[in-house]
Amino acid sequence: MKIGFIHSTRLVLSLVEAAVVASERFRGADQLHIADDTLVRELVETKTIGEGIHSRVLAHARSLQERGTERIVLTCSSLSPLVDSLAGRLSVPFLKIDAPMLEEALSLASSMEGASVAIVATNPTTEVPTRLLAGETDKHLRSAGQPVASWDFFLVDGAFSALARGDKEAHDTAVVRAVEDFAARFDRVLLAQISIGRVRPGLSPDAREKTRYSLDYIDTLLDS
């Protein structure tokens, strides 16, 4: 199988590549990656998914399709609404990186009465798309007659500004502190950006057990 990935930052490319190699079903897949840092830079500047971003993502997806990929994954949570608008213009599945993670977490209520989920991010551009996807997942599960966990979205105060000034340590410290707090109050903590998954080794065992990020579900995603 040949799988295509579109990234809005090169910081996550190696993480995604390693997750596929470590997966049970897709470790032998041929991976094609396109990393376009201009996507997230424009999104941060304009605070909207404009025509420039739209056209570049479509061009990247078509390029991957022409190279024979059987699946294409958009790994940027902030750009996930583009999957809905562009999927019909491609002949192969176009996938949202966070979809399986959100569905599994919100389905916790099926086995855990009163289950609660905290969705955590540092980049402000992630909030609206993630709330939208979580809301769609919530609605889908309810329409199927399934109980749904309560959920809320949280931005980690000060983390993004720390990263913007190049203080990665302060960013990661703020995320660890926030996740520890949420893990004490929620049944599941979701990291809404692949890039913040690196903080998990710094969590306490209890918090680490409750915390997930999208690459934990790479097999489910690529099998969809």
Is 224's pLDDT higher than 90? no
Q: Count of CB atoms within 10 A of residue 143's CB?
A: 8
**Residue 158 to residues 88, 110, 122, 123, 124: CA-CA distances in angstroms?**
38, 35, 8, 10, 11
Q: List, in sequence order, every residue forming a beta bridge with 173; answer none if it has no partner.
A: none
Q: Model confidence over 118-161: pLDDT tens digits? A: 999 999 999 999 999 999 999 999 999 999 999 999 999 888 88
Q: Do domains 2-97 and 99-214 have the same CATH topology?
A: yes
Per-residue pLDDT, averaged over 174-200, amounts to: 95
pTM exceeds 0.85 for this model: yes
54, burial (CB in 10 Å: exposed 0-12, middle 13-18, buried 19+): middle
**Residue 217 to residues 25, 68, 93, 102, 170: CA-CA distances in angstroms?**
12, 23, 17, 10, 28
The answer to whether residues 194 and 221 touch, using CB atoms and an 8 Å cutoff, is: no
Q: d(Cα 156, Cα 114) in Å, to the nearest integer? A: 25
Q: What is the mean pLDDT of the chain?
A: 95
pLDDT band at 213 (very low <50, low <70, confident <90, very high): very high
Q: Hey, where are the domains in the chain?
A: 2-97, 99-214
pLDDT band at 117 (very low <50, low <70, confident <90, very high): very high
- At the topology level, CATH places domain 2-97 in Rossmann fold (3.40.50)
Vertex 193: Cα angle to 188 and 197 (nearest 5): 70
Which residue do the tokens 């995603």 mark? 221
CATH of 99-214, one of 3.30.1490, 1.10.357, 3.40.50, 3.40.1000: 3.40.50
pLDDT band at 109 (very low <50, low <70, confident <90, very high): very high
Q: Model confidence over 11-70: pLDDT tens digits? A: 899 999 999 999 989 999 999 999 999 998 999 899 899 999 999 999 999 999 999 999
The answer to whether residues 93 and 224 touch, using CB atoms and an 8 Å cutoff, is: yes
